[in-house]
Chain A
Amino acid sequence: MSDDEELELIEILEMPLDAWHRARGARMVEFAGYHMPIQYEGIMAEHSWTRENAGLFDVSHMGQLMLTGDGAAEALEALVPGDISALQEGRMRYSLLLAENGGVLDDLMVTAAPMGLYVVVNGAVKWDDMGYLREHLPDEITINHMDDRALLALQGPKAVDALLRVVPGVDALYFMDAGSFFWGPKTDPEPLWISRSGYTGEDGFEISVPATHAQKLAEELCAQPEVKPIGLGARDSLRLEAGLPLYGHDMNPEVDPVEGNAAFAVSKRRRAEGGFNGAERILKALAEGPSRKLVGFTVDGKIPVREGASIYSKNEQVGMITSGGFAPSVGAPIAMGYVASAHIAVGTALEAEVRGKRVALTVAAMPFVPHHYHRRGKSI
């Protein structure tokens, strides 16, 4: 085999729903090593549809891992700053995979499932994550990469109405709950693992389904009048408005959780006890404040300010934009970026440089569009 042929083999992979996306008119792009749909009818229309109805996202590129073995939660706690051992079955938590120096290797969701810890990691770094976990977790902990499963997200205020018709009982879940549900004929039902969570700021669900059944489920969901398939483009604009970071852009191994505006992910007990990678650096940043921090920005005027733009206070460069673009629900450009701690207060006036010109920015509270989660104890 020549080198060229070898390269072809590790080239872009297809997700289980590839043909289905193309048949529905998706424009496909390469992302995280997969062909993925960036848009169907258009990013603005898909974005608004999700905010008002329900959007179906194929996020099968993400890594679905199951950690099993006695003491899996305690072992994982050496690598993440969350209180994993306190997670009750059917509850999930946002956390961060930490390098030995406290830098963020990935952000992830950890759920206490009946079998073990169900962990969902970013597609772009899932192979690195698995290698890191295998290297740093004790041998008794088994890491099962569930690559025979697809992951679908149904997001939006009407997601619960649509999903309830297809999968009875899902309305029992509150935000950050998860559980197993049966789908299909009573004589031969298929178990699905479903959580009430997502990446849009809206109410919604994430559904882990065997890859062999993903197309049938996607078709049943899209047959509901509230549901349209939504591409990666709107996924990005929705999460940006929701103030949610995109790993590899808004977080990377150079930053710690406090700098990355994720101090909330460092659980109370872990703050008191330490015992996780980078604890010294992270606890110091919590106590003294970080030297720089990820913040949100509103943008004056209409020029989108995008990743890589330098941020200035007068003539001094004080930071860098890590995500930015036009926000359809805001009707204006918004951005996120890192700035030195002297400039992180909400309301601080700064400037970004776009094509040699200065564009006025203001540090803004996030989210830019309010979250609409179905929280426990809150009636809707």
Chain B
Amino acid sequence: MSRYYTEDHEWIDVDGETATVGITDYAQSQLGDIVFAEVPATGATLKKGGDAAVVESVKAASDVYAPVSGVVTEGNDALEGDPALVNSDPEGEGWFFKLTLSDTSELDTLMDAAAYKAFVDGL
């Protein structure tokens, strides 16, 4: 399994054609206390860079973009009852959705952990 990152601070774990998406620890620290998360419905078709989910902190609503194109196989229902999971475990239990990739070549444009760390350090 490989983990990739985007400049919009999403992470994506890829296992064959299946992927899990969430927001990074840096993203949650910037957003602050998360009070609401809206994940995509199973079966939704996502286009790379398009709106996929919504995360709301006390002060603002932010979009979560699809890091790659695909079809949603599962949204994380746990976020509805406990949106603070995104703060406490952003890169684990606080995942947003799983999808089946429609074009694995899109992964080539994403960053690996070292590149993402360098990107965040440069902000």
Q: List residues of A whose CB falls within 8 A of some B CB.
A: 38-39, 42-44, 47, 233, 236-237, 302-304, 306, 325-326, 328, 333, 355
Contact = CB atoms under 8 A, between A and B. Distances in A.
Interface in B27-43: 32-33, 35-36, 38
Contact of B56 (A39, A236, A304): A304
Interface string B80-116: 1001000000000000000000000000000000000
B32 A39 contact: yes
A355 B36 CA distance: 14
B33 A43 contact: yes
Contacts of B60: 306
Interface string B52-78: 001011111100000000000000000
Contacts of A325: 58-59
B36 A43 contact: no
B58 A233 contact: yes
Interface of B: 32-33, 35-36, 38, 54, 56-61, 80, 83
B42 to A, nearest CB: 18
B36 A303 contact: yes
- Chain A interface mostly helix, strand, loop or mixed? mixed
Nearest to B35: A326
A72 to B, nearest CB: 39
Contacts, number: 41
11 contacts: A39-B32, A44-B58, A233-B59, A236-B59, A302-B83, A306-B61, A326-B35, A326-B36, A326-B58, A333-B35, A355-B54
A326 B56 CA distance: 9
Residue in B32, B56, B59, B61 whose Cβ sees the most chain A Cβ within 10 Å: B59
B88 to A, nearest CB: 12
Given A304-B61, A306-B61, A42 B33 contact: yes
Contacts of A237: 58
Nearest to B83: A302
A290 B47 CA distance: 48
A42 B54 contact: no
A233 B32 contact: yes
Contacts of A38: 59
B54 A302 contact: no
Nearest to B36: A302
Contacts of A306: 60-61
Contacts of B33: 42-44
B32 A304 contact: no
A348 B98 CA distance: 40
A310 to B, nearest CB: 16
Nearest to A306: B61
Given A303-B36, A326-B35, A355-B38, 13 more contacts: A39-B32, A42-B32, A43-B33, A43-B58, A233-B58, A233-B59, A302-B80, A303-B56, A304-B61, A306-B61, A326-B36, A326-B58, A328-B58
